[in-house]
A and B are shown apart, each in its own frame.
Chain A
Amino acid sequence: MRLDPRSTRLAVLAAWSICFGWLWATGEVVRYLGPRTEWVVPVGAVSLAAAAFAYSRGRTARTGRVARGEAVGLIGLLVPVALVAMLAHAQLGSLAASNKLSSRGIDVAALARFASKDASAVSFLQLKGAEKDGRLAGELDIAPGRSVELLGFVSQAPGGSGSLVLSRFYITCCVADAIPLGVTIEPLTAKLAGYRKDQWLDVTGVLAKPGGHYVVRAERVRAVKAPSNPYLSFAG
């Protein structure tokens, strides 16, 4: 393939089409986008392939080399493709939970109500919503003493009190707007010492509500592998 400007631009279009196709075919898209916006990946794969094909049919006005400024731009456009290839199993974790975001501006109770329409299990969102909305807590049967099972990553390692914070990220559109929701896990019959940040745990225990916030008093804790889709969605 000649590396004239048209061929180089065509290569960038094709690289992005392949990248979208790979995300679509492998299901890796769930590491980047939420269920509301996953559809853009197949659309992107097909439309970029069509655009690349149409562009490949044309003749360049002049053959020659790629100008330096354009080359920098085209290489920049390929950086995300390289990152997709490099970060195949990367996910947001404790660093993002502490540095990146907060749930400010989000009506957690309303989202929990929406997400719980078809949900059978209690998760982080329902617990946070129930803290703010007593009626929702009643509807979801969330109260101290109820048994729950939570799957999440350790966002705050066990401290002096022996408790840790277990979190999950909730996506709206993509992981850039993901919001971490965490629940404090306190030891009951299970020990929590030794678990480190970003480790995935499956925690079973009973709810308690000291100081207005739900905590889980752990009866059983298992270290598990991260799920293939590490994120939950406000869409339920």
Chain B
Amino acid sequence: MSFEPPKTHLYLEEDLPLIQLSHTYAQSSIWLENGMSEQLATYDLFVRDMPAHRNYMLFGGLQEILDWLQKIRFSESDIAYLLKVKLIDENFAKYLRNFKFTGTVRAMQEGTVFFPYEPVVRITAPLIEASIIETYMMSAATGNIMFMSKAARIKLAGQNKFAIGTGPFRAHSFESGAKACRAGYLLGMALGGQPAINIKYNIPVDRYVVNGQHLFITSYPDELSAFRALTDHYPEDCGFMVDTYNFEQGIENAIIVAKEMEARGQRLARVVIDSGDKIPRCRHARKRLDEENLHYVKIFLVGNLDEYSIAELAAADAPCDIIYSITEYVTLSDSPKLEIVYKLAELRKGDDIHYAAKLATGKLSYPGRKQVYRTYTGGKITVDTLGLEGEDLGQPLLEKVMENGKLVNKQPNLEEIQTYVTSQLATIPEHLLDLHKEHKFEIKISGQLQTLLESTRAKHGAK
């Protein structure tokens, strides 16, 4: 057999503009034909229902969305394809050739605590522009919101008794793994240390820690020679998994190697426990290390840990130093779904305003240019009100970040977002921090908005 180039089903950067649902192109073509393309549409990006096991969410993905809005263009090849499959006509092809996003964007800052029905991004742009950016924007927001919201729970579950870390292992693709790491970093987690991700996000790394994994250990005839091979080669900041074969024996082997290192003036940094009953194993490891005067050897825990098991470890004061939550975190295993939606709220043609709302059962959307207002008591969130722009009901959460397609301000760097996230976590009401029970935080709808919804409803004759 000879080499044949793979007939790939994978995609390139240039494919991204077309990820918008195909009906949007067909619809946009109709809007253009009907002279509706210049109408100014206002759309809201919001989450309709609180995901399972969540009492609050953190907004994420703004930087990615703003990047996209500045970059989206359609190539000749995209346009030729849309014509070929008869999704668009020549007139619309011409429109797409000159496509550029020229709208205005209001958004919550990345890291803001938010609740269902609160717009996290509000777009005001010519109707077609505002529609064509939908799928990418929803995709970008989904992963980032889900990861940040879960990372907050994991971080808080540890009660600051141990450091928390993560990595992209077993994520649903590279992209979501990288996003999970970025979100973890924003919540103050240590990263597992895939250089690709650190380079990508410009995440500073003082020194990479190195642990002998099962894969490395099994490649040597016995555990002790594997431990020695690693400590000989990388003595500065290393450790190893102690449960490849037998946990107790692994700890004893680690002690032997730690003493050998001491004799050379070096120190074993840590042991890693990846399996079994974590609390007794941590206690046994700590006890044996302390008995041998190896108080400085730290204990790392990895392996199927999430906020629930971390809370148990914290309650038991398990003597470990850092806990990695990986698979359960990056797969969002207790709550993988986010009902994010992007809904038309208003259309303007000059002074003529057409308010739009969806009235389907269980899938309500509110009309008009909205703002989210927040009030606090003692630094904690007390009331969120969804109202119309220009009302005076508390601190407005949506800020203008893009005007006529251009960024209004320099976007914060990751460390600035980190600081902001910490301050946001401090505003969450105590009862919402409960990991095990669901508590609903009801937002209020302002009188003005309620009136507008009712008049829109009356107009469309819905029951």
A and B are interacting partners:
no
